[in-house]
């Protein structure tokens, strides 16, 4: 379709309408055919079984289904059991043989993708990341990387890899705790798969975890912004190197809460974040000393004690 004309060249009216059946743009004021032979950019249609569903194509292919969403299904239970006896038995036999004819790869994917759907639901994983995780698992199965490994560890590992690729703040501890998977086994599995498939995983930055933790702790946007600023300054002096991102994010939020007056105890933050108070305390001391915030925080704490 060419550029759509917004005004009638004859009467300058903007009262134009598109006749989709004829492929014409018509002025409703004077009847002039402003444009013709326009191309329909909508979906293709054909009328086979009434007008309820005239789509020519089905749903798009997806890695989250064992047959990519393009497989054949021999009737539903309701349709088959409404048939007469002989036809019903015939259709049931056909469906049974159809299921038996599936390959070991298809059966593996069928069970694994159900497990992946469960894991994604528990972790509240977005559909785009679930799709990527399913693609990674599909590649791992086809390259025989799952042999000798439990299906659960490979599924959870694929979800963790996809989350890392999309910069979704989900730590391995959190994923294994929620899903009940063995952390050591999942760790070995995801590293093996990533290395075998040539997937590069950049280390997660502590600032990626700040929004999630700040939301759980009920901090306002000011505290969240201050925590990100603290982490950026810490990064410039290489304070974040060799330290766990979750502990740094928790300590930055603790320091930011002191500076903005939204104080939470280290215990409260540790319970929400999933690290120990000792970790937060150590990172907190390093941050305030290296960034020159020790005196400012001491002053704020004295003022707070005086008010109490």
Please check whether residue 66 lies inside any domain of the structure.
no
Whether 180 and 174 have beta carbons less than 8 Å apart is answered as: no
* pLDDT tens, residue by residue, 136-188: 999 999 899 998 899 999 999 999 999 999 888 888 988 999 999 999 999 99
Same domain, 111 and 185: yes
Structural domains of the chain, count: 3
pLDDT for the residue numbered 1: 40
Structure-block tokens of residue 124: 């509240």
Alpha carbons 129 and 278: distance in angstroms, whole number: 34
Phi-psi region of 68 (alpha: psi -120 to 50; beta: other; left: phi over 0): left
- Domain end residue (candidates: 165, 197, 229): 197
Structure-block tokens of residue 302: 């004295």
Please check whether residue 87 lies inside any domain of the structure.
no
Please check whether residue 35 lies inside any domain of the structure.
yes
Same domain, 147 and 227: no
Q: Residue 109 is part of which domain span? A: 105-197
Please check whether residue 299 lies inside any domain of the structure.
yes
Give the lowest-confidence range in 6-20, 50-64, 273-287.
50-64
> If DSSP codes are grouped into helix, strand and coil, which group holds residue 25?
strand
- Domain end residue (candidates: 162, 197, 232): 197
- Domain end residue (candidates: 197, 219, 243): 197
Same domain, 174 and 138: yes
Please check whether residue 247 lies inside any domain of the structure.
yes
Same domain, 110 and 129: yes
Alpha carbons 260 and 127: distance in angstroms, whole number: 36
pLDDT for the residue numbered 176: 92
Q: Which residues contact 151 (CB under 8 A, 6 or more apart)?
A: 108, 111, 112, 115
47: pLDDT strictly greater than 90: no
pLDDT for the residue numbered 115: 92
User: What's 254's domain CATH number?
Assistant: 1.10.472.10
Max distance between CA atoms of the chain, in angstroms, equals 89
Element (DSSP H or E) covering residue 178? helix 172-179
Please check whether residue 266 lies inside any domain of the structure.
yes
Same domain, 210 and 193: no
Question: Is pLDDT larger for residue 135 or for residue 261?
Answer: 135
* pLDDT tens, residue by residue, 267-276: 999 998 888 9
* pLDDT tens, residue by residue, 292-301: 888 888 887 7
Same domain, 217 and 239: yes
Alpha carbons 23 and 27: distance in angstroms, whole number: 14
Alpha carbons 140 and 105: distance in angstroms, whole number: 11
């Amino acid at each position: 379709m060419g550029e759509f004309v917004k005004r009638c060249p004859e009467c300058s009216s903007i009262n134009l309408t598109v006749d989709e059946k004829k492929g014409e743009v018509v002025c409703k004021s004077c009847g002039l055919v402003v444009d013709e032979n326009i191309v329909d950019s909508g979906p293709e249609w054909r009328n086979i079984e009434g007008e309820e569903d005239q789509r020519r194509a089905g749903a798009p292919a997806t890695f989250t289904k064992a047959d990519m969403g393009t497989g054949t299904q021999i009737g539903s239970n309701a349709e088959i059991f409404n048939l007469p006896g002989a036809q019903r038995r015939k259709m049931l036999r056909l469906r049974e043989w159809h299921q038996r004819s599936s390959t070991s790869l298809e059966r593996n994917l069928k069970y694994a993708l159900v497990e992946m759907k469960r894991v994604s639901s528990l972790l509240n994983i977005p559909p785009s990341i679930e799709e990527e995780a399913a693609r990674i698992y599909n590649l791992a199965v086809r390259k025989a990387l799952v042999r000798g490994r439990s299906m659960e560890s490979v599924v959870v590992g694929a979800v963790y890899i996809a989350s890392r690729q999309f910069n979704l703040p989900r730590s391995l501890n959190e994923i294994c705790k929620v899903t009940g998977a063995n952390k050591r086994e999942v760790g070995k599995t995801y590293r093996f798969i990533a290395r075998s498939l040539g997937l590069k995983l950049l280390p997660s930055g502590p600032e990626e975890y700040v929004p999630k933790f700040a939301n759980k702790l009920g901090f306002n946007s000011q505290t969240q912004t201050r925590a990100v600023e603290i982490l950026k300054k810490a990064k410039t002096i290489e304070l974040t190197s060799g330290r766990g991102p979750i502990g740094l994010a928790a300590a930055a939020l603790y320091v930011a809460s002191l500076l903005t007056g939204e104080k939470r105890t280290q215990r409260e933050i540790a319970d929400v974040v999933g690290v120990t108070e000792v970790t937060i305390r150590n990172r907190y001391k390093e941050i305030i000393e290296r960034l020159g915030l020790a005196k400012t925080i001491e002053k704020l704490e004295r003022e707070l004690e005086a008010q109490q």
